[in-house]
Amino acid sequence: MSKNMHLVLHDKSILKGLILLSIPIFLNNVLKSLHDLVDAIFVARMRGYTQLELDSALSAINIYFPVNFLFLSIGIGLSVGAVAIVSQYIGADRYDLAKKYASRLMLIGVLISLLIVLLLIGVSGIFFDSHLIAKAMGAEGIGLSFASEYFLIRSFDLLFIFPFLIYQAIRQAQGETLKPVLLNVIAIILNMIFTGVFIAVFEMGIAGAAYATVLANALITPFIFIDLFGSKKHIRIAFKDMIIDHQTIEDVIRFALPASFGQGMTALGFIIIQSLVLSYGVEVSTGFGLGARFTTLLLYPVIALSNVNATYVGMNIGQKNELRAKRSYILTRRLSLGIMLLGIAFMIPLRGEVVAFILGNDTSRSYEIGVEFALWFLLTQPFMAIFQTFIGLFNGAGLSKYTMRLSLLRLWVFRIPLVLIFMMVFEEGNYASIFYALMISNIIVLPFGFYYESKIRYEMQVTLHA
């Protein structure tokens, strides 16, 4: 048994294991966020553009994120299924079945990524006068030109992101969080270097940021498969196990489809919200994106803890250790909330300096809006901490249907209707409706989360078939 598996299943201090296994994921997420900020910093300083054009370029990047998330939701759903299935089989000492499902989920991920990329190429500026998705989101003029270029190049990134998501889930299911993080850190550092060279040196514009991301992720992909096929310490995948049979489809539908659907509908909701934000102008869209990126830094330690807790819950359910699975969840929730409250107290006074550093000025309207959005985002983070711990519990227990329901409630039942209602109530041009909808939706969804939490029975959801 590996050291990490011992931490998850037997170590007396659950808190120690949660923290130790979360640190690599947290550092990875922080670096990823810093990479996104580096993109924004270089794009905001492109030479030869007016301030409005620079805001349009930043807005193009901002509206890409929910679109990317929409298609990534399928890969995220598969990774959720991989953690639940593989961790429960490992906990039950059925490594043969864990290996089979790891292999099959990887095959499914690769095939789906190919289909999505073909779809995105089909709606791009190659066949139309502009990217259909960017145009549908309300981008126009130079902003639409930027978005069409950026969307097309970044679509190829999915060919490398999907395998990485499945790889990360397979390793996480066994308590191995370090190696995937190291590979991702290498990709992020390469990405930052390429971004600086492509934009500042070669002056490739917004396309440089897109090419940098795709190239960096492509370079680490061979090492993912080298580890998966050749590891001596962890589960390996095999070509002979890459058979998609009826049982595999049934299990993927049961474990992964609810998570994929929930994530996909969440992403679609974010696309709608981004479109509504963009309707207020590119300065508001830019400020919204900057505020969101800044405050997401604070959510990363909570996301890391939630991901590790999913492994704790899944593996201990496999071992039929209900008490340990439950205790890991309670500790995760308390720790997450404490981290969030401390982080808010630290970050609220710094938000102006950070937004000004990214934009390169503290006088533009985008700066003022970014600082304002950052405050509101920060105030909602304690509620998001609790929400995120629900997600880790549901996914680890193999009940991603609860994750789906909670996500749909937050966005489609509460947030989007509230945004639309407030837009009608407030005077035209008053973007405060976005603030209020964000905060209210993050609060009123929590009772539903506690209700679903009460329904968790900590029982195995996988079938120990031969």
The pLDDT score that the predictor gives to residue 439 is 84
Residue 213: its H or E element: helix 206-230
User: DSSP secondary structure string, 329-347?
Assistant: HHHHHHHHHHHHHHHHHHH
Q: Where are the alpha helices (DSSP H) in 50-128?
A: 51-91, 95-122
Express each pLDDT in 18-31 by its tens digit. Answer: 998 888 888 877 77
364 Cβ partners below 8 Å, 6+ apart?
51, 55, 283
Which tokens is 318 given?
């496999």
User: Smallest Cα–Cα separation from 63: which of 211, 280, 208?
Assistant: 280
402 Cβ partners below 8 Å, 6+ apart?
390, 394, 452, 455
The pLDDT score that the predictor gives to residue 465 is 58
User: Smallest Cα–Cα separation from 165: which of 235, 78, 90, 244?
Assistant: 78
Q: In which residue ranges of the chain is pLDDT below 70?
A: 1, 33, 35, 464-466
The pLDDT score that the predictor gives to residue 466 is 44
Q: How many Cβ atoms are within 10 Å of 2's Cβ, its own excluded? A: 12
Alpha-carbon gap, residue 4 to 181, rounded angstroms: 15
The pLDDT score that the predictor gives to residue 213 is 93
**DSSP classification of residue 348:** G
Judged on CB neighbours under 10 Å (0-12, 13-18, 19+), 191 is buried
Express each pLDDT in 347-379 by its tens digit. Answer: 899 888 888 887 777 878 888 888 888 888 888
Which tokens is 354 given?
């950070």
Length of the chain: 466
| 215-244: b (≥16 Cβ within 10 Å) or e | bbbebbbeebeebbeeeeebbbbeeebbee
User: Smallest Cα–Cα separation from 24: which of 303, 279, 238?
Assistant: 303
The pLDDT score that the predictor gives to residue 333 is 95
Which tokens is 431 given?
């973007």
User: Smallest Cα–Cα separation from 386: which of 436, 341, 433, 434?
Assistant: 341
241 Cβ partners below 8 Å, 6+ apart?
99, 100, 102, 103, 104
What amino acid is encoded at 407 in this protein?
Answer: S
Alpha-carbon gap, residue 255 to 252, rounded angstroms: 5
Alpha-carbon gap, residue 177 to 212, rounded angstroms: 25
